[in-house]
A and B are shown apart, each in its own frame.
Chain A
Amino acid sequence: MIAPSAYLLLSAVLFGIGVVGVVARKNVLIILMSVELMLNGVNVAFVAAGSYLGDAAGGVFAFMVMTVAAAEAAVGLALLIALYRLKETIDITELKVLKW
């Protein structure tokens, strides 16, 4: 049996990669993908904890997060396309004005 700490470690690593991606990358598409990575990192932790504690709540939360992630990806990508049409760029550093 794999120790719970290994799952948590994997979760933390996934989350960390996501964070670095969000903070460091300029491409909005990559950032969105990194956010997915972070969410999935959390999911791993939820599922692992649920299985370890024998509590279904962990799995339920993972599903919850997945639906939110799906919605987020849909809205995020739609915004991204609208943004690209308007500005012809998806470089996050170019998109810094608060209103236009």
Chain B
Amino acid sequence: MTGVALLDQHLLSVLIALPLVGAALLLFFPRGGDGAIRTFTVLVTIAEFLLSLAVVARFDVATAGMQLVERAPWIPQYGISWIVGVDGISLWILMLTTFIMPITILSTWSAVVKNVKEFMVFMLILETAMVGVFLATDLFLFYIFWELVLIPMYFLIGVWGGERRIYAAIKFFLYTFVGSVLMLVAIIALYFHHHAVTGVYTMDLMKLYELTIPVKLQGWLFAAFFLAFAFKVPMFPFHTWLPDAHVEAPTAGSVILAAVLLKMGTYGFLRFAMALFPAAAADWTPVIAVLAVIGIIYGALVAMVQKDVKKLVAYSSVSHLGFVMLGLFAFNLQGIEGAILQMVNHGVSTGALFLIVGIIYERRHTRLISEFGGLAKVVPVFALCFMVVTLSSIGVPGTNGFVGEFLILLGAFKVHKWYAVVAATGVIFAAVYMLWMFQRVMYGKVTNEENLRLTDMNGREVAYMLPLLLFILWIGVYPQPFLRRMDASVNAFVTRFEAKKQAALAGSPPGETMLVRYFDVKKGGAR
């Protein structure tokens, strides 16, 4: 098979394999040659990004289902296959992953000097795992990639992290692992349920979609998936691993964590939890919407009083991801498209924020807000970048954050009016904590002598920040190319969601849903 044919027919598989091959090749590099190792890794990730552009080029806007699908039997006797595909839901998250990787690698140039080779190997393995998560449409395959992500990330935090890195790494690992194990149980249960109904063992997501699962079973399975994804998102009150992990992780780790890993949770909700168990998802909506809204407000309030910039950004992530969850559980086109767009937006702008923090941390070796002040005068280019990213995080119109938040709130407002109203106050708080932080770091007089010696961003730093700023403005001013490619898939999702939900409810005795029954009982009591 020629190379062209390989790319032509197995584009997605190549996309998954390429970083892993890169990691394997990296093992042959001599330990001392850090420069060569870094350059090679950047080239691999850039090649990966260029390759992923081919996915966009070949993506058909009108197709709702999976595209560029590849399937190969893997463990056929158990119905496990290698199935990968991409649709409007995963396209931009995949692109975000491949886009953010070269940027992240570039940012480690001078930040990671210890065990460079191992670091880069872990980064590339991580990329394979992340790309795999977003492309896999076989549950077993998905689960493997899902867990594979944990391992390199655990080491990235635990080896290259800050002072309390061991605590943070273990906390990160255990937290997310607890959820995933329950998900594994649910996957197996679903697998046997499919066999019980159809007589076929399969892990193929598209086949599992076709099931109409009894409402009661849906409830339990959804609960297990919910835990796995809620830990990852992270939703309030499962979020406390995030600030610790972010603070202790090296800059590159934080960027990947914020930009991509958290999206695995929200993506998981959309692709698996909501799509497989629509009746349960609808049933759980009050709980999830409330938690999302609490997360929005809580994250914002707690972010406001942080003293460490990285912790502040970490809590702001809790708030932003709350918006995404609210959008997803609006179950309408605006809400879900807004949520997907906001996943990308959060990846770009929070990723950029962590890079920004990394840039000053590299120079000053502190992230305490009180250590800074008056930087705008000393490092004007940095100030400009910081400002744009801050505005994007606040969601000022003209930046990407606004489009996402607006669509989410618009969608949510239709179905959960009061939740959306409360969530919208998060927009105010976002301005408060971000601007306050910006003021304390950038404005005022330079009070600390050390800050006078800061150097502005160098060419490499500008080079990796510029694409992020570009996307911040692009998505803000002209989001159409992004939204248009989601339309068909999201539309199909919404339609199928509603149909499947009705089918499940019709097929089960009334009163089977756990929560609605509970609420009904309460209501009945009140009456």
A–B touch (CB < 8 A): the answer is: no
Binding site for B on A (CB under 8 A): none
